[in-house]
Amino acid sequence: MEHTVTIPKERIIILDFGSQYTQLIARRIRELHVYAEIVPYFYSMDEIIREQPAAVILSGGPSSTYEKNAPAASPEIFRLGIPVLGICYGLYQIVEAFGGTIVSAKSKEYGRAIIEIRQDSPLFRGLSDKEQVWMSHGDKVVSPPPEFIVIASSENAEIAAIESRDKKIYGVQFHPEVYHTIQGKRILENFLFEICGVGPTWNMQSFIESSIESIRKEVRDGTVLLGLSGGVDSSVTAVLIDRAIGDRLSCVFVNNGVLRKNEHVQVVERFKRHMKLNLIYVDASDRFLKKLEGVEDPEKKRRIIGREFIRVFLEEAKKIGRFDFLAQGTLYPDVIESVSTKGPSDTIKSHHNRVPEVLRLIKSGRIIEPLKELFKDEVRDLGRALGMPDEIVERHPFPGPGLAIRIIGEVTPERIRILQEADDIVVGEIKEAGLYRTLWQIFAVYLPVKSVGVMGDNRTYENVIAIRGVTSVDAMTADWACLPEDLLRRISNRIINEIKGINRVVYDISSKPPSTIEWE
């Protein structure tokens, strides 16, 4: 079986019907120190019963219940005797299951709205009579099921929330998990602590203890090989597994030729000499760059780098002698964006930790991914709880395929050199300005787009560097960072003056969605 951590007895199961906000539900609940797990809407009822959740939440989704083959929750969900909260499409599931009526709305409702609370309800305890919420729906409930009462309305949704207090079943048309629902956190608190009766028992210390126990149980007297990049995810994974099994962990740091400037020197210094991990350094840069020759498609780049990593690991494993498990610092968003294992969500991009070679190892039970249910900020919290230094914990995310997906088009040694220098200038200036920790990410992108310029009295025809800076909480959504004008001017001047081959710098002012954070 694939490795999983031991999770707290008090947990919430979220059935995913494909909403873009499903991950936010889990995040908001975890922020309240209650463990939440996302599973597909068709998750086995036997598994749900075995896990004995404190409650079930039905997520939103893009479908309409009256469509052919629309996803549907098992009716048994409502017979478990535990609280249920339906959000948007989840509300429709409740209404349909108990005999209410749903129709396509004449007036769609997307964005901010005001609800009026019509009845006293434990779900809305502590709220005002009118509250701002976030709506995103094209259908609406026109008649509630028998035994349910309407507890809130909006201008375009006369039935914006319902409840059956006896059954402990609640449904809301809006999205409490979205920040634009001003009292969304309070609504979730009410559901968890008042209606479900759970306590705030999940924290990083309990996660460490359960993870160490689970890793030891899984590995037994075996050995683990970890691909260490030096970034937050793999570094925290390394320290956590080292805490569990000690020197039976071997960390392989592969120089794939598309790292940041001087990255290989810094990683070896930090982890081998200072942190005393069993670190093996492999310079495979020529090998990776040869594989990438002539490749322009970003998905092919990711697959090539992912496959080559696995091959290097397996070769190093043979040198080590005994190798029972491969460990990865895969995070929840990596899994979600790569392939819809949780529900009917669209695939956004493949992840280098989810290439076929890795998937085969997962199926064979030889992969350990102790962070795969965590978001990035939770991993940072975990690193702090493990006593790791800020210089590691606060590092900005860096993609597994490295600069290969920040070079648009073919990856060449010259383009790598240019981008390394540009990225070093960008990050250095941001740190000097004291803004590094306020940003989620900032980096340079190489654009193979020629533009005319003038340097001195000479005409130039060179390439472009784009700068991408964003703010975010969890990387599921992100806004472009509004940086000081003088800082942008200084970065631009340095890049153009110091790096041969660049005569233009542009700044990316697109948010996620619709754009992604990385360009490829």
Give me the active site residues, please.
88, 175, 177
Question: Which residues does 485 contact at the CB level (< 8 Å), separation at least 6?
Answer: none
Q: Are strands 101-117 and 130-143 parallel, antiparallel or unpaired?
A: antiparallel
Q: Which residues contact 404 (CB under 8 A, 6 or more apart)?
A: 256, 258, 292, 301, 305, 411
Distance (Å, rounded) from C-alpha 437 to C-alpha 210? Answer: 30
Angle of CA points 141, 143, 147, to nearest 5°: 115
- Residue 322's CB is within 10 A of a number of other CB atoms, namely 11
Does residue 100 contact residue 106 with C-beta atoms inside 8 Å?
Answer: no
Under a CB-based contact definition with an 8 Å cutoff, are residues 465 and 424 in contact? Answer: no
Cβ pair 58, 84 in contact under 8 A: yes
Q: Strand pairing of 11-16 and 35-40?
A: parallel
Per this entry, what is the length of the chain?
520
Peptide bond before 333: cis, by omega within 30 degrees of 0? no
Residue 25's nearest CA partner among 113, 87, 111 is 87
Q: Which residue shows structure tokens 């992100």?
A: 478
Query: Is the sign of the CA dihedral 126, 128, 134, 140 positive or negative?
Result: positive
3-class SS of residue 386: coil
DSSP 8-class letter at 342: S
First to last CA, the chain: 32
| CB-CB contact of 169 with 163 (8 Å) | yes
- The closest alpha carbon to 58, from 30, 32, 21, 100, belongs to 21
CA distance 276 to 295: 38
| Strand bridging mode 367-368 / 161-164 | unpaired
Query: From CA 142, how far away is CA 186, in angstroms rounded?
Result: 27
Residue 123 in contact with residue 161, Cβ under 8 Å?
A: yes
Q: How many CA atoms lie within 13 A of 426 on its CB side?
A: 25
Give whole-number Cα distances, 72 to 43, 95, 275, in Å.
11, 12, 50
Does residue 155 come out as left (phi exceeding 0), alpha (psi in the -120 to 50 range) or beta? alpha
